[in-house]
Structure 1
């Protein structure tokens, strides 16, 4: 499989195989790598102070600025594999 196919498979595994008990930091890292892989650098304005969840997601994604989409895909695939091993999922 190519990188895009591996990425899509990892995204499906993240959705279907990872437990709901991931920490917020783990969820934010997954989100940030996924967004960077799919869309590239953050292209939206930072949410306001009254949207803490949106702000955390924006900060996580914006923290990946400068990472190529290909590198983000590779990191995402590796991170999903690490989370599966850590949480004992198949």
Structure 2
């Protein structure tokens, strides 16, 4: 399978986890997914009171400079780790 196919499969698999990962794991998965699918963060930083949006933006922006392919590989690895620790429904 190509990196894109494995990335797409991991994106589908992550939706079938038995339970929700920790907030830190969720932010990591989100940031790697965005970096792998879009590239560097291309949106303005959310306002001060948008805590969730700000955390997501900071996580994604923290991946700046990582190539799409490297981010895809890291995403696939992270999802596999979550499946191993949490399991799938």
Provide the TM-score with structure 2 as the length reference: 0.94
CA distance in 1, matches of 2:17, 2:66: 25
1:71 matched residue in structure 2: 70
Which residue of the partner structure matches residue 3 of structure 2? 3
The answer as to 2:49 corresponding to 1:30 is no
| Deviation of the 1:20 alpha carbon | 3.6
Name the SS for the 1:74 alignment partner.
helix
Gaps of 5+ in 1: none
Gaps in structure 2 of 5+ consecutive residues: none
Runs of 4+ aligned structure 1 residues displaced above 3 Å come to none
- RMSD over aligned CA atoms reads 1.2
Q: Return the TM-score normalized by structure 1.
A: 0.93
